[in-house]
Chain A
Amino acid sequence: MDDGLRNELSKQGVVVVKLEELYNWGRKNSVWPLSFGLACCAIEMMAASMARYDLARFGAEVFRPSPRQADLMIVAGTVTKKMAPQVVRLYNQMPEPKYVIAMGACAISGGPFKQGYNVLKGIDRYIPVDVHIPGCPPRPEALIHAFMTLQRKIDAQKLTGPDRARHLNADLPSEFPVPLFGEHDLVPSKNPNVWRPAVVVR
């Protein structure tokens, strides 16, 4: 159906949409985040959900205390190597469709603790991250921007075809191996199926 006819019909009070659009419209406006914070970024996340920044405008005010009711994991803060297995386990317990926002310098790369012995250099080494937010900590506006980016991403997901969304493709994994505590580091230190370092050109 072309846009002109659709416009004409809407003037007569008939709204025509594709099922995919309706489905994604519903999903993108009811993304419920998992309520957990790891460090100071969580304070900004809380601020974003309060009245001043009002994340409720985007349908995301319902922070769920259980991974089984959540759609979105906001990794807000430093992921220590001791905490990383628990974060991956929480992600595994979330039902599909599920999304991840890595919030702040620590969650995306290790941040100021990058060269430390106890901090994971980015949660994207173990679970697939949809949106990365830089900043130390990012302001609530940055989180809202990341959230809107995620909404656009959800809106563009296909229901059918070879490039359909992950939760509709049984061949793609929805759970990822939980790293174990090793003698010197986490084992494995990264999941090569999830994280491939970009080629650095100098």
Chain B
Amino acid sequence: METLEQTLARAAVAAPGAQLSVVKNDSPCAQHSLLVDVEHAYAVAKFLRDDPQLRLDYCSNVTGVDFLDAELSEKVKVKKVVDGVEKEVEEVKKTKRAGYLEAVYHLYSMALKHGPVILRQRTPGRADPVKVTSLTPLWRSCEFQEREVFDLYGVLFDGHPDLRRILMWDGFKDYPMRKDYAEPDDYEYEPTPHDEVLEKAKAHLPKAEVKA
């Protein structure tokens, strides 16, 4: 199977205007993924499915990822004059990164017995509306899993035939798998609390006990 860079080059030709990049995975599994912009996701996915060399006819998994606003620190070597002598000094450069949500697709080929090719779509931010393109018209197996991502992460899928909550009830307002989800406080009775649960249970203890 060709490398992801080769796939990217051919996909860029097949879907003109698509902004594609490779997201590196430095862990030993080295499963790099293909990041595609939301506008051209459908065209790129269609290319991945129909291209005779790839024929990724099976979408095994759709999931969501939540990235909070973060401050990234990076070590940069800077030339500085220290005590009259020019030296190379390491400095920590901090950059702020706005949070975003991702929808990740794992694609396999049943016909050619290869895979996975991992496709990512990224939203511009975490605030509503967070829209990506639904790939259900290409792979039917995405339907329920995109609904699950919508249910738990609040990602809206443009072009999904039936985007409703699937696990939680319809009137539910929260997105429980987001990192800033605040669960309902029902820690009134914790016979053996520890760590986080202990902190939450303390709010329900009589005040005299908290001091002790």
- A residues near B (Cβ < 8 Å) are 82, 115, 117-118, 121, 181-185, 189-190, 197-198, 200, 202
Chain B residues positioned under 8 Å from A197 (CB to CB)? 188-189
Whether A117 and B183, one on each chain, are in contact in the complex, defined by CB atoms closer than 8 angstroms, is yes
Give Cα distance in the complex from A100 to B193, angstroms: 27
Q: Are B173 and A184 in contact (CB under 8 A)?
A: yes
User: Of the candidates B186, B188, B197, which one forms a contact with A185 in the assembled complex, judged by CB atoms under 8 Å apart?
Assistant: B186
A184 to B186, CA, bound (A): 12
Of chain B, the residue at the smallest CB distance from A185 is: B184
Are A189 and B176 in contact, CB atoms less than 8 angstroms apart? no
Q: Please determine whether B167 and A118 come into contact, CB atoms closer than 8 angstroms.
A: yes
| CB within 8 Å: A-B pair count | 44
Q: Does B174 contact A (CB under 8 A)?
A: yes
Which has the most chain B C-beta neighbours within 10 Å: A184, A200, A202?
A200
* Secondary structure class of chain A's binding surface, majority of residues: loop
Besides A181-B169, A200-B189, A200-B201, 4 new A-B residue pairs in contact (Cβ under 8 A), listed by A number: A115-B196, A181-B171, A198-B189, A200-B190
30 chain-A/chain-B pairs, Cβ below 8 angstroms: A82-B167, A82-B168, A82-B169, A117-B176, A117-B183, A118-B167, A118-B176, A121-B189, A181-B169, A181-B170, A181-B171, A182-B171, A183-B171, A183-B172, A183-B173, A183-B174, A184-B174, A184-B184, A185-B186, A189-B184, A189-B186, A190-B186, A197-B188, A197-B189, A198-B189, A198-B191, A200-B189, A200-B191, A200-B201, A200-B205
**Chain B residues in the interface with A (C-beta under 8 A):** 167-174, 176, 181, 183-184, 186, 188-191, 196-197, 201, 205, 209
